[in-house]
């Protein structure tokens, strides 16, 4: 798949998801996903409900060991889910900056900010391969299930940008879907599973090499052992099936999850949807990635 096609499909999918999903329609699914990947009920109660779209594959705010007064940057922040959590941890003397390339996602994030009491949050519209943030700004860079969506040939740029915007000694805490072994060709070419965070998964060795080439040390990449089939199997994700006619896709409020709503799927050129008979745990996993600049 061409990089431009991938970027366009990812942008369309998540922009549509941001515009069509409501907390009422997605609460069951988004709560199930967040809980599966380590978020506690108190975490979810502390942030705007509309910021949780069920798009996590881990909890980088827990990995990062955030401290009062630190500046954190969240790459691919979406509606601000991890930004709001991080802002609470760094306190009023710290800053939490969210970066996303979807105007619709950022519009949702900014509405969430308006409805919160947070004073230390800002959002920037930008691809994560070229971030308009001054070098040496951040103490910590986090990202949650986003780097896998970047076209393979551009992924290394993300790690160089992380290194650039971090202060010396700054930390990276990333949750991402990585491949345990080379993915079959038909899975690699399926756009639906790409925007669903599966087909763009890089091998663990590639990830480690990109981090080290960008100048990071103390690199740790650990499989969290979480069931990634939760994206497909959690209540509310019934549209992630190979048989669209038999899926529960008659109502927009039921069309939430890794495949997004019907509007999102209509915009994505896809060979198949996420097939019920594929065990994604065989091919990919949710990994915890830590490194120091």
Q: 289: Cβ–Cβ under 8 A, 6 or more apart, which residues?
A: 172, 173, 174, 175, 176, 207, 211, 219, 220, 221
pLDDT of the residue at 23: 64
Distance CA 101, CA 260 (A): 18
Q: Is the pLDDT of residue 16 over 90?
A: yes
Query: Does 266 or 66 have the greater pLDDT score?
Result: 66
How many domains is the chain built from?
1
Q: C-alpha dihedral over 10, 15, 17, 22, to 10 degrees?
A: 160
User: Residue 220: which H helix or E strand, with range?
Assistant: strand 217-223
Q: pLDDT band for 271, please (50, 70, 90 cuts).
A: very low
Q: What is the CATH number of the domain that holds 60?
A: 3.40.50.150
Distance CA 133, CA 150 (A): 19
Range from 48-52, 169-173, 197-201 that averages highest in pLDDT: 169-173
Judge whether 236 lies within some domain: no
pLDDT of the residue at 28: 82
Domain range for 30: 3-227+282-292
Judge whether 94 lies within some domain: yes
Q: Is the pLDDT of residue 57 over 80?
A: yes
Judge whether 248 lies within some domain: no
Judge whether 195 lies within some domain: yes
Judge whether 232 lies within some domain: no
The per-residue pLDDT for range 117-154, each reduced to its tens digit, is 999 999 999 999 999 999 999 999 999 999 999 999 99
Q: C-alpha dihedral over 84, 88, 93, 94, to 10 degrees?
A: -50
Instruction: Find where tokens 């039921």 sit.
Output: 254
Residue 147: both structure tokens together: 């780097």
Note whether 224 and 58 are within 8 A (CB).
yes
pLDDT of the residue at 230: 82
Buried residues in 265-274 as b, exposed as e (16+ CB within 10 A): bebbebebbb
Judge whether 263 lies within some domain: no
Instruction: Specify the pTM.
Output: 0.87
Judge whether 211 lies within some domain: yes
């Amino acid at each position: 798949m061409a990089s431009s096609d991938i970027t366009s499909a990812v942008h369309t999918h998540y922009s549509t998801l941001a515009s069509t999903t409501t907390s009422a329609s997605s609460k069951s699914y988004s709560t199930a996903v967040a809980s599966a990947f380590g978020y506690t009920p108190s975490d979810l109660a502390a942030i705007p409900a509309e910021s949780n779209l069920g798009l996590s594959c881990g909890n980088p705010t827990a990995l990062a060991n955030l401290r009062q007064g630190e500046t954190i940057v969240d790459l691919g922040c979406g509606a601000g889910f991890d930004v709001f959590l991080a802002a609470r941890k760094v306190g009023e003397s710290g800053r939490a900056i969210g970066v996303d390339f979807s105007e619709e996602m950022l519009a949702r994030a900014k509405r969430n900010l308006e409805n919160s009491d947070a004073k230390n949050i800002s959002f920037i519209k930008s691809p994560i391969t070229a971030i308009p943030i001054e070098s040496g700004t951040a103490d910590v860079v986090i990202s949650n299930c986003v780097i896998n969506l970047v076209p393979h040939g551009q992924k290394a740029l993300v790690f160089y940008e992380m290194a650039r915007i971090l202060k010396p000694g700054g930390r990276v805490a990333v949750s991402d879907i990585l491949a345990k072994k080379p993915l079959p060709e038909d899975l690699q070419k399926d756009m639906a599973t790409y925007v669903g965070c599966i087909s763009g998964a890089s091998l663990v060795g590639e990830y480690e090499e990109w981090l080290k080439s960008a100048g990071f040390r103390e690199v740790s990449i650990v499989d969290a052992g979480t069931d990634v089939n939760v994206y497909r199997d959690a209540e509310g994700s019934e549209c992630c099936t190979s048989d669209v006619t038999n899926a529960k896709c008659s109502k927009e409020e039921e069309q939430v999850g890794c495949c997004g709503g019907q509007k999102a799927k209509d915009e994505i050129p896809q060979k198949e949807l996420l097939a019920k008979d594929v065990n994604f745990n065989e091919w990919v996993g949710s990994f915890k990635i830590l490194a120091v600049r």
